[in-house]
Copies of this chain bind each other. A is one copy, B any other.
Amino acid sequence: MINVAILGYGVVGSGVYKVINDNNSHVSRRAGDDVRVKYVLDLREFPGDPAEDVLVHDFDVILNDDEVDIIVETMGGVEPAHTFEVKALKAGKSVCTSNKEVVAKWGFELLQLARENNCNFFFEASVGGGIPVIRPLINCITADHVKSISGILNGTTNYILTKMAEEGLAFEDVLKDAQKKGYAEKNPEADIEGYDACRKIAILASLAYERQVDYEDIYTEGITKITGIDFWYANQLDASIKLLGLAKRQNGVVYAMVAPFIVKQDNPLYGVCDVFNAILLDGDMLGDVMFYGKGAGSLPTASAVVSDVIEAAKNKGRNIPILWRPEKRQLGSVDVFETSYLVRVSGLKAVDRLKETFGNPSDELRYERNKEEILTNEVKKVFGNVKFLMGQDGEEVAFVTKPMSGAEFEKAAEDFVVENRIRIADL
């Protein structure tokens, strides 16, 4: 008998309870032993709920019960989740969690504790919800040097960007609609500013490059500045706009970032729409592989947690080594990272300055009359050989740069009134 305790009976925790019970004979056969939920920990009461009989309010009841083999942590948040996980592992109980904050921040420490106590720390559900990606990264894509990982890691933002692309709606309108439908939270900051994706790419980068990547070090840009006009230009490039978590080795340095990217039609991530997630990995021998599925939701996420429970049950008393060293990975700066950009400029700063200070009406008139031509010439002068796109009106000039470093771009862009600039994914 394998006894499981679930900490936190929310969306994922209740899903774990359901998967273990509804698929019990299947789960037990796969685990090689009968699996049952002995405890559910939650501060709330759940009268009438099937979990009522196993509900406890005190973590120590679970910790002090020697029969408990595996602890599922689905509380979310950093504390007390992290402390409970530490205590569980020190007591030799394996921990399976969907908690990306704790994994991103304390993953290497918890893995070490598991190693020291002959148990396991598994976290398949912390990235990509139900999509198997952590274990494939650890057990399958082992012969390759990982050249890059790029992922659509957040369903909320992917839903918003998909609706903007398909229906030509503005960001704010789609966000409101997503909040109504329950796809976005009341406080959507963690999603739309990219913080959620940032934790997830930190975990993937730590595993792929075997050292601790601190999420605080990851350059993170959300989707709030994306407009319908950006999609109009993306369309001309046979591309869409996706919020990507990216980790990449470039000239021997590892870079990690979260930002909106132009994703072209020949990139397998292009077709990943709505709330779906996908992780594209490029190995030096393997080429591109992609993992696709539901990145959130009670049962898909719970399915991944329970696959961890099964793995922990199969390996009771035996630690499965996972390479994630505590030494910190120094990430390359986005100033050095090279990429092409889609850029929209609406004016020359010099002209604005001129207007403000001297205000020569005839110069201004000449500029307004020939704005597009003057802007275009200035872009050619500063950015060199670029690909111009068809504008919606004469108000702005849009173009695609050659690959350039972040610093080079910033310097070149200095003279212009930049409406937006979006990096271009290079597959």
A interface residues, Cβ below 8 angstroms from B:
15, 19-20, 22-23, 26-27, 29-30, 32, 124, 130-132, 135-136, 139-145, 268, 270-271, 283-294, 297, 299-300, 302-304, 306-307, 309-311, 314, 321, 323
Query: Most chain-B Cβ atoms within 10 A of its Cβ — which of A27, A271, A286, A310?
Result: A286
**Bound-complex Cα distance A278 to B289 (A):** 9
CA distance A286 to B271 in the complex (A): 20
B135 touches A139 (CB 8 A): yes
Shortest C-beta distance, A274 to chain B (Å), equals 10
CA distance A135 to B142 in the complex (A): 12
Inter-chain contact A268/B294, CB cutoff 8 Å: no
- Determine the chain B residues whose CB is within 8 A of the CB of A292 once the complex forms: 268, 288-292
Which of B131, B141, B285, B323 is the one whose CB lies under 8 Å from A29?
B323
Beyond A136-B135, A321-B32, whether A287 also contacts B130 by CB under 8 A is yes
A305–B299 Cα distance when bound, in Å, is 33
Pairs A–B under 8 Å by Cβ, sample size 24: A19-B285, A23-B145, A26-B143, A30-B323, A124-B140, A130-B283, A130-B285, A130-B289, A132-B136, A132-B141, A132-B289, A141-B303, A143-B306, A143-B310, A268-B292, A271-B271, A286-B299, A286-B304, A288-B292, A289-B292, A289-B294, A290-B290, A290-B291, A292-B292
| Contact residue among B142, B268, B270 (Cβ-Cβ distance under 8 Å from A307) | B142
User: Cβ of A314: which chain B residues have Cβ within 8 Å of it?
Assistant: 321
Give complex CA distance A15, B300 in Å: 36
**Nearest-Cβ distance from residue A160 to partner chain B, whole angstroms:** 19
Contact of A140 among B26, B27, B268, B307 (CB under 8 A): B307
A26 surroundings in chain B (CB, below 8 A): 143-145
Q: Which residue of B lies closest to A16 (CB)?
A: B143
The reply to whether B300 and A287 form a contact with Cβ atoms under 8 Å apart is yes
Q: Which of B130, B140, B270, B299 contacts A132 (CB 8 A)?
A: B140
Whether A23 and B307, one on each chain, are in contact in the complex, defined by CB atoms closer than 8 angstroms, is no
Judging by beta carbons under 8 Å apart, are A291 and B294 in contact?
no
User: Once the chains bind, are A141 and B307 in contact (CB under 8 Å)?
Assistant: yes
> Which of A135, A144, A323 has its CB near the most chain B CB atoms (within 10 A)?
A144
Q: Are A286 and B303 in contact (CB under 8 A)?
A: yes
Point out the residues of chain B lying under 8 angstroms from A294, CB to CB.
Answer: 286-289
Q: Which residue of B lies closest to A15 (CB)?
A: B285
A23-B145, A26-B143 known, 17 other contacts, Cβ within 8 Å = A15-B285, A29-B323, A30-B143, A131-B289, A132-B140, A136-B136, A139-B307, A142-B306, A142-B310, A143-B309, A268-B292, A286-B303, A287-B294, A287-B299, A288-B293, A288-B294, A289-B293
Shortest Cβ distance from A272 into chain B, in angstroms? 8
**Nearest CB on B from A81, distance (A):** 22
Complex contacts, A284 vs chain B, CB 8 Å: 23
Instruction: Report B-chain residues with C-beta under 8 Å of the C-beta of A323.
Output: 29-30
Partner of A285, one of B23, B132, B144: B23
* Most B CB within 10 A of own CB, among A20, A132, A291, A321: A132
Q: Which residues of the partner chain B approach A310 to less than 8 Å between Cβ atoms?
A: 142-143
9 A-B pairs with the lowest CB-CB distances in the bound complex, closest first = A132-B140, A143-B306, A289-B293, A285-B303, A290-B292, A271-B271, A286-B303, A30-B142, A285-B299
Complex contacts, A271 vs chain B, CB 8 Å: 268, 270-271
Q: Does A293 lie within 8 Å of B286, measured CB to CB?
A: yes
In the assembled complex, the Cα of A131 lies from the Cα of B288 at a distance in Å of 9
Closest to A35 in B: B143
Q: State the CA gap A241–B297 with chains docked (Å).
A: 31
